[in-house]
Amino acid sequence: MKLNQNFKNIKESYLFAEVADRTGAYAKLNPDKKILKLGIGDVTLPLAPAVIEALHGAVEDMSKSETFRGYGPYEGYEFLRESIQGYYRARGVQLGLDEIFVSDGAKSDLGNILDIFSKDNVILVPDPVYPVYVDTNEMAGRKVLFSNATEENGFLPMPDYKVKADVIYICSPNNPTGAAYNKAQLKEWVDYANKLGAVILYDAAYECFISDDSLARSIFEVDGAKSCAIEFCSFSKTAGFTGTRCGYTVVPKTLISDGMNANKMWLRRQATKFNGVPYIVQKGAAAVFTERGQREIHKNLDYYRRNAKLIADCMDRLGIKYTGGKNSPYIWLKCPRGMKSWEFFDYLLKGAQVVGTPGAGFGENGEGFFRLTAFGSEEVTKEAVARIEKLLTE
């Protein structure tokens, strides 16, 4: 037996472990100090009441033989796919029901989708970015190239025709930079992908934070995307499903290469390796798209948006440059006084007892930057902002 040698090439993911270690060590030495965490990427508000009611109803369904469900369709129940179809239709995007695949979250599908791509594809990933894209490709032994997301390009790299990529990752609004592409910029990526015969894997996990109309919430709002893009969506940040687990992936039927159809291949892959998302969870997810569900989840999203604004306003007052904060739950700031990411982490922890995430952990271009998130409570966010402001104006 030989184990997958590619695992030797994957970088140890020490970012959050190191954050926890340094925070833990400080807390041990300073037990009287209250530490405030603005580093987490997890939501804190509970599920919306409409979702909870639907979950309860689905549990009841499972208790009666007339409504009990066993194995469901690999691609998800029609009631949920119809709701998702309606969500896209409201934005002018027409999708076939057979182009929508319900998943247990965007992370799984972002990794699993690689099953349908050839091993010798050239992969293009922005730096900095969500580490899953690089690690999943390296596990499979693929070559990864990086596009530089920098202060100069507003953390939104644009296509470079000298680079011949086959699989292009775009995450917008981006984790960690909070930067989001507008439709004209996405059109340039779509044109590049169509010209090269490449595919864009579009991670829209944070689409629900977009409030600016010039920004796309789906890549399929851009002409030409249906022949070159796959979109990954999640109920995690939209509706607090990080622990409940549900998402969906859109694979257009018009995504074809060498006579092979990506949509058919994905269905085949799912039918082989996936037995669907629990009926109960899908019922909860469908409730998100009802009028009441939308009202309730937007109330929660507004809560996080207000937190984001509190942090962004503080950065404005301090004259610190940042991206995100608007159309995103993340605030990606340039460490003040020329500090490096981990230096600033220690400075904030010791000086204000506030924990964030060092940008260097998301890629080389993240050095000198720092991520704060809006997912904490309003109370914690307000106090953290006040402490940061005091520390940096001293």
- For ligand PLP, the binding residues (CB under 6 A) are 41, 105-107, 130, 171, 175, 203, 205, 234, 236, 242, 247
**183 neighbors 220 (Cβ within 8 angstroms):** no
Query: Rounded to the nearest whole angstrom, what is the least distance from the CB of residue 112 to ligand PLP in the complex?
Result: 11
CB nearer to ligand PLP: give 37 or 253. 37
CB nearer to ligand PLP: give 330 or 353. 330
According to DSSP, the β-strands at 247-250 and 256-257 are: unpaired
**Residue 295 is encoded by which pair of tokens?**
């009202």
Query: Rounded to the nearest whole angstrom, what is the least distance from the CB of residue 308 to ligand PLP in the complex?
Result: 15
CB nearer to ligand PLP: give 105 or 293. 105
Query: Rounded to the nearest whole angstrom, what is the least distance from the CB of residue 357 to ligand PLP in the complex?
Result: 12
Peptide bond preceding 49: is omega within 30 degrees of 0, i.e. cis?
Answer: no
**239 neighbors 52 (Cβ within 8 angstroms):** no
**367 neighbors 394 (Cβ within 8 angstroms):** no
CB nearer to ligand PLP: give 139 or 318. 139
Query: Rounded to the nearest whole angstrom, what is the least distance from the CB of residue 131 to ligand PLP in the complex?
Result: 10
Query: Rounded to the nearest whole angstrom, what is the least distance from the CB of residue 66 to ligand PLP in the complex?
Result: 32
**By CB neighbour count within 10 A (0-12 exposed, 13-18 middle, 19+ buried), where does 382 fall?**
middle
Residue burial 104-143, b: 16+ Cβ < 10 Å; e: rest: bbbbbbbbbbbebbeeebbbbbbbbbbbbbbbbbbebebe
Which residues, 6 or more positions from 143, have their beta carbon under 8 angstroms from its beta carbon? Answer: 122, 123
Query: Rounded to the nearest whole angstrom, what is the least distance from the CB of residue 103 to ligand PLP in the complex?
Result: 8
In terms of phi and psi (left: phi > 0; alpha: psi -120 to 50; beta: otherwise), the region of 337 is left
Q: Give Cα 35 to chain centroid, integer Å.
A: 26
CB nearer to ligand PLP: give 123 or 205. 205
The one-letter amino acid code at 133 reads Y
Query: Rounded to the nearest whole angstrom, what is the least distance from the CB of residue 256 to ligand PLP in the complex?
Result: 26
CB nearer to ligand PLP: give 41 or 278. 41
CB nearer to ligand PLP: give 137 or 236. 236
Look at residues 371, 346, 347 and name the one whose alpha carbon lies nearest to residue 21.
346
Query: Rounded to the nearest whole angstrom, what is the least distance from the CB of residue 176 to ligand PLP in the complex?
Result: 8
CB nearer to ligand PLP: give 157 or 388. 157
Q: Give Cα 356 to chain centroid, integer Å.
A: 18
Query: Rounded to the nearest whole angstrom, what is the least distance from the CB of residue 171 to ligand PLP in the complex?
Result: 5
Look at residues 333, 300, 365, 302 and name the one whose alpha carbon lies nearest to residue 178.
333
CB nearer to ligand PLP: give 175 or 381. 175
Q: How far apart are CA 24 and CA 28, in angstroms?
A: 6
